[in-house]
Structure 1
């Protein structure tokens, strides 16, 4: 069993999150975001870190870029990485962001014309303990608009998976319907979205960086053929090194605090 995290490291990471949190832009910054049909948006990205079952150190950092609105794969990148930072709930971004940034930098160096105009992150953005999840972390450090889309509800800041939440989910009648995830403070940290007519189970979308919550939700819906947005769903189809192909699973299925 691993030793508990050093208090000093937690304090250091909390301080760094607070510093970077001040740089998050929670509004639309791009012309395409203000267009009803996202005119001008041509490339959407998705990132994820996949882990070998039972191994939380060795992982595969993955990036895809899809055309928009056709949602066809234009670029894909998978690279094995070794995570050095310890796992601490609420601070997964410190383990994972460096490798996702590296993937974006490889693309920018090799094929800059394919750099995505927005990145979907399989995890949370502002909907987080300290309003600074993985999507915010990646957005601030990359400078790209980012959207966090989680498959599981993070019960945080007064948002709980209780009867009221379940009744709100039941009231989502069709793809595109949503309801706000409102913190105890009254601030809307994200929205639960029925992303497809075919799926009654919602996803949880929140601002990462350089996009408003309403635009983030609208864009998420426009990128969904099924429950999960295509830039994230397509990562599951990436070529993964054969030695671990059969053992991969996504940490996000069991951990929603990213």
Structure 2
């Protein structure tokens, strides 16, 4: 973790606040409210993988899968050099530029394969200032986005308490969920048991142009295992790219 000058932090906060004004939390597409998500054909997933010990160079990955089959339609693996350090609450400034570039590259070259929704390995509204990486990417790309985190971000009064653990134990089957309610009473996301075989939940929140209910139902529909398939495939393929091009190195997501 790198400490940023205070003026840089304030600049990022200001930019987040400006972009947040463009955030749309509700459903905007017909497929989002259609039975069985009729009309949804392409779901995207993005992720970054690193060589252990190198937090600057990464493999930026975009995949597009068919829905509901979850078959690969498109993939893009690119080595990128990240210019911004990791600062909690500002992950988007580090990761979004290369992920946005991958989506724009696809739109230029094969616009018919552009995803109708993008799953992001990270949080959306469930964030310190209610504008995480999934919101940032969604607003800049102009696409519906869903944030899916594998670990709980302890933020706005949501903590890994005994009550939280009890709520997790009460999730009996795939599709069961409970709200992540901030101290203010605002629901920022949901903890979702994504499959019958996975007892550890994932944390789903709105990125852009989708409602929380739709985001949770769609996430569950895209899960074969614990993590939704678009993100799982992006993670697997970015790691495989690094293993192929840097065979002696260990990788991390």
Q: What corresponds to 2:241 in structure 1? A: 240
User: Which secondary structure does the structure 2 equivalent of 1:208 belong to?
Assistant: strand
Number of aligned pairs? 249
Confirm or deny that 1:202 pairs with 2:201: yes
RMSD (Å), alpha carbons? 1.1
Confirm or deny that 1:249 pairs with 2:248: no
- Tell me the CA shift for residue 244 of structure 1: 2.7
Displaced runs of 4+ in structure 1, greater than 2 A? 241-246
Gaps of 5+ in 1: 251-258
Q: Is the 8 A contact 2:47 2:235 kept in 1?
A: no
Alignment partners' CA distance in 2, 1:87 and 1:236:
19
> Taking structure 1 as reference, are residues 3 and 197 closer, same or farther at Cα in structure 2, changes over 3 Å only?
closer
Q: What corresponds to 1:53 in structure 2? A: 52
- Tell me the CA shift for residue 117 of structure 1: 0.1
1:170-222 per-residue CA deviation (whole Å, 9 max, x = no partner) reads: 00000000000000111000000000001010000000000000000000000
Question: TM-score, normalization: structure 1?
Answer: 0.94
- Tell me the CA shift for residue 157 of structure 1: 0.2
Q: What corresponds to 1:229 in structure 2? A: 228
Alignment partners' CA distance in 1, 2:185 and 2:99:
32
Residues 107-256 of structure 1: matches in 2 within 5 Å? 107-238=106-237, 239-241=240-242, 242-244=244-246, 246-250=249-253
Residues 2-81 of structure 1: matches in 2 within 5 Å? 4-81=3-80
User: Which secondary structure does the structure 2 equivalent of 1:37 belong to?
Assistant: helix
Gaps of 5+ in 2: none
